[in-house]
Chains A and B, each alone.
Chain A
Amino acid sequence: MSDQLVTFVLQILNGLKIGSVYALVALGYTMVYGIIKLINFAHGDFIMVGSYALLYTMPIMVSMGMPAWMAVVIAIAICALVGITVEKVAYKPVRKKGNNMSALITAIAMSLFLENLAQTIFGAAPKPVGTIFSFPDMVFGEVKINGNTILTIIIGVSVMIALQFFVKNTKLGKSMRAVSEDGQAAVLMGINKNRTITMTFAIGSGLAAVASLMYCASYPQATPTIGAMLGLKAFVAAVLGGIGIIPGAMLGGIVIGLVESLSKAYIGDLTGGVITSAFSDAIVFGILIIVLLVKPSGILGKNVGEKV
């Protein structure tokens, strides 16, 4: 294989790795949006909660003789708890009194609150996260692939498949889809709407904990603002795929990851140095604008007329 092809394959894998993290985070956005039409801007900060949970529980796991990644179980529990608390304390009361706009503002406030709370509790200085898993590098001929990259992609894809199965085939998954389609009708059919919303938050936040495991394995540092940019990009991914649609979030995440990686790698050469790899974020957010202009419902979304 030529050197250029080897580099290209590596760049694709780089893109799939970060893309599968974006996809998992985007799932959290999309699930919550699907069910209560709220863009939960605090979702990125659940990742932050997850990474601090990992940071502090990993040494305990190791001292008990278990592998470090087992800490994710506790991280999922903590994230789910935080997600449910945020929903019960902040979103639910606002949803009852106000409209979608006040709920959105509450979400932004919640995001800032969580970031500042983390800064008060853990300090602003970044904290290194220990080695979560270290998978040996794989060599295929001339291509040497980082083991953690492969593992991250595998975990991401398996979680997505499991979630899809859960939503399609379990009772809770069906009730989630029902509430998402028509909340009032779902209540008439005997579905406990509040319980379903709570469970959606729990699952979405739990996914954030898994995402933080994958994220911290590749980017081993916890800061109070770790979730801000990650959350925004995942939000773009969710919108790109079609917000509210679960396969859309997965597709959007992977696409954003690939676009980011490939634009960083090749945009400089393609444009003769006019646009450099520094523009990759601008390109990602440029995609958001184009999607909103061309197909506001996203790649997998159906154009639905506004109900009057």
Chain B
Amino acid sequence: MKKRIFAVLLTAALIATMFTGCGSSTNNSAADATPTAAASSDAETIKIGTISPNTGNLAAYGEAVVNGINLAVDEINAAGGVLGKQIVLETLDDKGDAVEGANAFNKLADDSNVCAVIGSVTSGVTSGLAPLANESKIVLLTPTATADTVTDADDYVFRACFKDSYQGRMAAKFAAEVLKVKKVAVLYASGDAYSAGLREAFIAAAEEFGLEVVAEESSSSTEDTDYSAQLTNIAGSDAEFLFAPYYYSSVGPYIVPQARAAGFDGVIMGADGFDGTIATMVDDKSLYNNCYFTNHYSPDDTSAAVQNFVTAYSDKYGAESLNALAALAYDAVYMLRDSIVKANSTDRTAIRDAMSGMSFSGVTGSFTLDETGTPEKSVAIIEFKDGAAIWNSTLGN
């Protein structure tokens, strides 16, 4: 009997490994590379690792980022690849969890064929990966992690997006100079690095731009569903403007409708986490009028780079998952390609040296990386009007 159990377990293990094998090979997005070809022809290809939350609460982010990366890689491969070689992806999942992210990163860093890593999506996970990247001396290029602390030195960590303190500052600037409000309120999630970081930057800048913070309320996480108590207090203050740095998943169904139900009819503003709110809005779209957010790009932008990307993405994956994260991920692949071309090598350190201080022009703007590896670029202010996201203005320093 024992023997039989052992045999069954062994078979199960064999089958399981078979599936994992298939799993990683289907992740290769080089369209023509069969699993065996990918394994045996490593020298003929350039392997890039990616980490994103493909399952779990933030799976929508992972989906957009993976699509953006795949789109760029397919384009590059179709045009002949980099340095004459096809790019092969190893797409790993961090489930939005720091430990899973670290495991995924170590797996990639230990594979000497992987020349650089694109990831991860959230600041929480990426902050944990940054020291690992510096230790193993491999480029970690995050498309979307905006927390200031993700990279603050000239090292192996780079990003394709602006940082939170800049975003929070721009929101305060927009409130003071464009909307010309005086009294503002803040609602933020104290347990979330993104939300708390934006709140800090906004409050610091509010003082500078002469805004008075008349109410400040918090929730424990960005995943709360009930903000009525805090919003009732804010509606009871005389604030004309509410800064609420949350993610789309709470903004659409909870924060905005609850704020309006509590009687707050002033401006509600957020940051790039508002991107995607349209899909989560309740039926009464008029509630979302007078809401703004800062973002990395606007799909309404008429420039050729943006329009080509929007068309290519929508054709391939549908417009539903298209957001700024997909655009940033798409840009990140091209940033990496440019660096590899400039380095004329797939050596990890050579790629880092080429990326440091690089200038780049893509879907999310033209920029030069500063000494920490963070782009200095303008923000797009997006406004909701009857359920549509409309470009309002572009703000820079």
Do A and B make up one complex? yes
B282 touches A144 (CB 8 A): no
- Closest Cβ–Cβ distance, residue B213 to chain A (whole Å): 13
B249 touches A14 (CB 8 A): no
A7 touches B283 (CB 8 A): no
A126 touches B280 (CB 8 A): yes
Q: Tell me whether B284 is interfacial, beta carbon within 8 Å.
A: yes
Question: Pick the contact of A125 from B60, B224, B257, B261 — CB < 8 Å?
Answer: B60
Give the residues from 108 to 160 in chain A that come closer than 8 angstroms, CB to CB, to chain B.
119, 123-126, 128-131, 144, 146, 148-149
Q: Tell me whether B299 is interfacial, beta carbon within 8 Å.
A: no
Q: Assuming the A-B contacts A14-B228, A276-B190, are A131 and B282 also in contact, with contact meaning beta carbons closer than 8 angstroms in the complex?
A: yes
Q: Tell me whether A225 is interfacial, beta carbon within 8 Å.
A: yes
Beta-carbon nearest neighbor of A265 in chain B: B229
B232 touches A265 (CB 8 A): yes
Q: Assuming the A-B contacts A221-B253, A221-B254, are A128 and B229 also in contact, with contact meaning beta carbons closer than 8 angstroms in the complex?
A: no
Q: Assuming the A-B contacts A131-B283, A276-B190, are A264 and B59 also in contact, with contact meaning beta carbons closer than 8 angstroms in the complex?
A: no
Could you say which residues of chain B place their CB within 8 Å of the CB of A264?
219, 229-230
A279 touches B220 (CB 8 A): yes
Could you say which residues of chain B place their CB within 8 Å of the CB of A220?
253, 257, 282
B229 touches A221 (CB 8 A): no
Q: Tell me whether A166 is interfacial, beta carbon within 8 Å.
A: no
Q: How far is the CA of A282 from the CA of B280 in the complex (A)?
A: 28
A219 touches B225 (CB 8 A): yes
- Closest Cβ–Cβ distance, residue B360 to chain A (whole Å): 30
Q: How far is the CA of A60 from the CA of B59 in the complex (A)?
A: 28
Q: Assuming the A-B contacts A124-B57, A219-B254, A277-B217, are A11 and B229 also in contact, with contact meaning beta carbons closer than 8 angstroms in the complex?
A: yes
Q: Assuming the A-B contacts A219-B225, A220-B282, are A7 and B220 also in contact, with contact meaning beta carbons closer than 8 angstroms in the complex?
A: no
Could you say which residues of chain A place their CB within 8 Å of the CB of B224?
281
A221 touches B230 (CB 8 A): no
Give the residues from 219 to 255 in chain B that come closer than 8 angstroms, CB to CB, to chain A.
219-221, 223-226, 228-230, 232-233, 236, 249, 252-254
Q: Tell me whether A106 is interfacial, beta carbon within 8 Å.
A: no
B263 touches A144 (CB 8 A): yes
Q: Tell me whether B11 is interfacial, beta carbon within 8 Å.
A: no
Q: How far is the CA of A15 from the CA of B220 in the complex (A)?
A: 17
Beta-carbon nearest neighbor of A148 in chain B: B261
Q: Tell me whether B21 is interfacial, beta carbon within 8 Å.
A: no
- Closest Cβ–Cβ distance, residue B121 to chain A (whole Å): 13
Q: How far is the CA of A241 from the CA of B223 in the complex (A)?
A: 26
A146 touches B261 (CB 8 A): yes
Q: How far is the CA of A218 from the CA of B218 in the complex (A)?
A: 20
Could you say which residues of chain B place their CB within 8 Å of the CB of A186?
none
Could you say which residues of chain B place their CB within 8 Å of the CB of A70?
none
Q: Tell me whether B189 is interfacial, beta carbon within 8 Å.
A: yes
Question: Pick the contact of A11 from B60, B219, B232, B257 — CB < 8 Å?
Answer: B232
A278 touches B236 (CB 8 A): no
Q: How far is the CA of A229 from the CA of B226 in the complex (A)?
A: 12
Could you say which residues of chain A place their CB within 8 Å of the CB of B253?
126, 128-129, 219-221
Q: How far is the CA of A256 from the CA of B385 in the complex (A)?
A: 38
Q: Tell me whether A261 is interfacial, beta carbon within 8 Å.
A: yes
Could you say which residues of chain B place their CB within 8 Å of the CB of A129?
253
Could you say which residues of chain A place their CB within 8 Å of the CB of B22?
none
Could you say which residues of chain B place their CB within 8 Å of the CB of A11?
229, 232
Q: Tell me whether A198 is interfacial, beta carbon within 8 Å.
A: no
Give the residues from 251 to 308 in chain A that come closer than 8 angstroms, CB to CB, to chain B.
260-262, 264-265, 268, 276-282
Q: How far is the CA of A126 from the CA of B12 in the complex (A)?
A: 34
Q: How far is the CA of A15 from the CA of B228 in the complex (A)?
A: 9
Give the residues from 280 to 329 in chain B that come closer than 8 angstroms, CB to CB, to chain A.
280-284
B283 touches A130 (CB 8 A): yes
Beta-carbon nearest neighbor of A269 in chain B: B233
Q: Give the size range of A's interface with the partner.
A: 35 or more
Beta-carbon nearest neighbor of B248 in chain A: A126
Q: Tell me whether A223 is interfacial, beta carbon within 8 Å.
A: yes
Q: Tell me whether A18 is interfacial, beta carbon within 8 Å.
A: yes
B252 touches A225 (CB 8 A): no
Q: Tell me whether A3 is interfacial, beta carbon within 8 Å.
A: yes
B280 touches A10 (CB 8 A): no
- Closest Cβ–Cβ distance, residue A154 to chain B (whole Å): 17
- Closest Cβ–Cβ distance, residue B239 to chain A (whole Å): 14
Beta-carbon nearest neighbor of A125 in chain B: B60
Could you say which residues of chain B place their CB within 8 Å of the CB of A6?
236
Q: Assuming the A-B contacts A7-B233, A220-B282, A264-B230, are A229 and B219 also in contact, with contact meaning beta carbons closer than 8 angstroms in the complex?
A: no
Could you say which residues of chain A place their CB within 8 Å of the CB of B57?
124, 223, 225
Q: Assuming the A-B contacts A124-B55, A128-B279, A229-B223, are A277 and B230 also in contact, with contact meaning beta carbons closer than 8 angstroms in the complex?
A: yes
Most buried by B among A18, A225, A276: A276
- Closest Cβ–Cβ distance, residue A69 to chain B (whole Å): 14
Could you say which residues of chain B place their CB within 8 Å of the CB of A279?
220
Give the residues from 1 to 54 in chain A that come closer than 8 angstroms, CB to CB, to chain B.
3, 6-7, 10-11, 14-15, 17-18
Could you say which residues of chain B place their CB within 8 Å of the CB of A281?
220-221, 224
- Closest Cβ–Cβ distance, residue A128 to chain B (whole Å): 5
Q: Assuming the A-B contacts A128-B252, A128-B253, A220-B253, are A10 and B262 also in contact, with contact meaning beta carbons closer than 8 angstroms in the complex?
A: yes
Could you say which residues of chain B place their CB within 8 Å of the CB of A126?
60, 249, 253, 280
B220 touches A280 (CB 8 A): yes
Beta-carbon nearest neighbor of A222 in chain B: B253
Could you say which residues of chain B place their CB within 8 Å of the CB of A221?
225, 249, 252-254, 280
Could you say which residues of chain A place their CB within 8 Å of the CB of B284?
131
Contact with A along B42-86 (1 / 0, CB 8 A): 000000000000011111100100000000000000000000000
Q: How far is the CA of A270 from the CA of B283 in the complex (A)?
A: 38
Most buried by A among B220, B229, B252, B280: B229
Contact with A along B208-220 (1 / 0, CB 8 A): 0000000001111
* Partner-B contacts on A (CB < 8 A): 3, 6-7, 10-11, 14-15, 17-18, 119, 123-126, 128-131, 144, 146, 148-149, 218-221, 223, 225, 229-230, 260-262, 264-265, 268, 276-282
* Partner-A contacts on B (CB < 8 A): 55-60, 63, 189-191, 217-221, 223-226, 228-230, 232-233, 236, 249, 252-254, 257, 261-263, 279-284
Nearest 8 pairs between A and B by C-beta? A124-B59, A221-B253, A264-B229, A278-B190, A125-B60, A278-B218, A278-B220, A265-B229
